[in-house]
A and B are shown apart, each in its own frame.
Chain A
Amino acid sequence: MTAPSVPAPAGTAPPPDRPSPETGSSGGGPETRPRKRLTPYWLLLPAGLWLAVFFVAPFFYQASTSVQSGSLEEGFRVTWAFSNYADALATYGPHFLRSFLYASIATLLCLLIGYPLAYTIAFRAGRWRSLLLVMVIAPFFTSFLIRTLAWKTILSDGGPVVGVLESLHVLDVTALLGLTGDDRLLATPLAVVCGLTYNFLPFMILPLYSSLERIDLSLHEAARDLYAEPATVFRKVTFPLSMPGVVAGTLLTFIPASGDYINAQLLGSPNTQMVGNAIQKQFLNVLDYPAAAAMSFILMAIILVVVTLYMRRTGTEELV
């Protein structure tokens, strides 16, 4: 379901037993037919324009920027400086690694938190279903930035969360795992991962919910009738049938999370910076556009490879 499908342009090959528009003279009106053929293209036009202006043009512009060299004072020129890529990887390798590590952990946490919730809403919520769905998307009513700033207050040193976790000695455990340090939550990897998980959770829950909700309840009954215990019903029927939602949810979480820089900036420290922070710094502070563009392309390429491998592996096209 996640594979983009291009609608086949209708009528490119007219059925053989019908007269073609050129020769056809029988009543139907040859004038109406070409217009009908064009209809799908007209419908695609707004999206096509949008993509052209906001994706294709910047894509090529940035692609050319990424192989430029020079400086802000003298101006940048295309010199096919592919060394920009090598330099970016050499300098910011740890940022890339951290990005994908944090994004993977956040995606996994989203799945672990989101699946039971989506399952409950889809099958057990009854008349509370709509209310719970509204609550899932309610955070969107506030800006992403404000919410992350709020987390800064929640996790602040000396705040209630730190106090409680400290008295329960949870912070000692997480410190041992290298997730926190100095009895702090803010400015630790844990805070960044929590922020990512929190911010992208709805993108996991909604696709999961929509694929779970489509499962016919009589399939559960059929499985139970055929000697499957409740846990087996989930393992053999519910989970396989929710795979489209799992794939869509993990992609919608993982991709934006790996490029995110707000959480790392507001909740992290210089030691927890992700590749998004590095790109932002190069673009807006250092003003080294070629380096920033090269990093963007490396990020895009890695995501593309990861996603392709993942979708191959899960084989969603086999599913309903």
Chain B
Amino acid sequence: MTITLSGVSKVFGGFTAVHPLDLTIPEGSFFALLGASGCGKTTTLRMIAGLEEPTDGTIRLGDDDITRLPPHKRPVNTVFQNYALFPHLDVAENVAFGLRRRGISSVRKQVEETLELVELGPLAKRKPRQLSGGQQQRVALARALINRPRVLLLDEPLGALDLKLRRQMQLELKRIQTEVGITFVHVTHDQEEAMTMADTVAVMNRGRVVQLGAPDELYENPRSTFAANFLGTSNLIEAEILAVEGAELRLKAVGADSVLRLPVERCAVEEPRAGGKVLVGVRPEKISLTHAADAEDSDASGTIPEGSNVLTGRIRDAGYLGVSLQYVVDSPVCSEFSVYEPNVERDTRLTRGTEVVLHWRPSHTFALDAAQDAEAGTAEEAL
């Protein structure tokens, strides 16, 4: 069922955790709220669950206004961050808890089926403390799913698991969501987790949704420096708009002579005009490196495709990761240009101190409003 938040805000004391927020979560979708800790994503989730009362605004589930409904009257269930399993009840009774509260007495079959769904059948009689983290996570999921909620809320459900188990559970959650067809709202600070699982991701920062869209859309076309830096890595260059030529923008990077180009629709600035300042961005894996000698050599023409955006630089650091090669390049326009090259045809001359030419397609370039912190979202990503 569609969840609609209209103007929902939350103030704790003098601190605004969530600024007035409008959000529509379509039925049957896997929706992720992504952001660093303290960005208001968990508060938003708790308001949908009814565990936190909004300071202002309304929350609707389908056509029903559920803003003031206590949690036990909402057709919504939550998987808590620390699982919150009842330690005095065994797995089966934990899972049956919601059914029993609604006065359903013959729960055995449903409990069995649900435990089957999360592959925990044989552990029904165990106590939660006798289970591993991953198993507890599945119990928490089963305990919520058995109630067939209209919406399932997941609060950092994989945060306590190790990397390998997390990957496995990501796929599992996605499988279960497809199988049961319930709307999932997933809160996470892990961008990879959000991108793997969700159909729609809302990136939150300081109590506001910065950008909302499909994972690929967010990654390819960030509209703010926070989105550009928080989701993956971006190289951002200060530039000045030289001209708007039809569907194309021509820019000059500050500190370099070369002219950069990009499609107008990939510019986040409304009505760009000549003389305006922007931040030009490009993802590290979109960039190719060519040895400076090859670039000048006319015989080697073709290594740099016609019409590419081109910058020069010197390799400061080169790392061999097996599947890819990572370079940090010093350039007059940006002191730390990240470049990821797939390990296909490796140019072994590209070592520290080598002069190189960086080039990428104009269509892989995006531009952001220069009146914002170019570093926003970089520190948070490390969390």
Contact = CB atoms under 8 A, between A and B. Distances in A.
B70 A224 contact: yes
A225 B82 contact: no
A319 B86 CA distance: 11
9 contacts: A218-B82, A221-B51, A221-B78, A222-B80, A225-B49, A225-B50, A226-B72, A227-B73, A241-B88
Contacts of B73: 227
Interface in A230-264: 232, 236-237, 240-241
Which 3 residue pairs across A and B have the least CB separation, nearest first? A222-B84, A226-B98, A227-B101
Contact of B78 (A225, A228, A240): A225
Most buried by A among B81, B87, B102: B87
A221 B76 CA distance: 13
Interface of A: 216, 218-219, 221-229, 232, 236-237, 240-241, 318-320
A168 to B, nearest CB: 39
Interface in B64-89: 70-73, 76-78, 80-82, 84-88
Contact of B84 (A219, A236, A318, A319): A219
Contact of B147 (A218, A223, A226, A240): A226
Given A222-B84, A319-B88, A227 B147 contact: yes
Interface in B130-154: 143-144, 147
B66 to A, nearest CB: 13
B327 interface: no
Interface string B101-122: 1100000000000000000000
Contacts of B77: 225-226
Interface in B35-73: 49-51, 70-73
B82 A216 contact: yes
A237 B84 CA distance: 11
A300 B82 CA distance: 46
Contacts of B97: 223, 226, 228, 236
B129 interface: yes
Given A227-B101, A228-B101, A229-B72, A218 B88 contact: no
A227 B80 contact: no
Given A236-B97, A237-B86, 12 more contacts: A218-B80, A219-B87, A221-B80, A224-B50, A225-B77, A226-B77, A227-B72, A227-B73, A228-B72, A228-B101, A240-B88, A241-B88
Contacts of B82: 216, 218
Contacts of A229: 72
Nearest to B78: A225
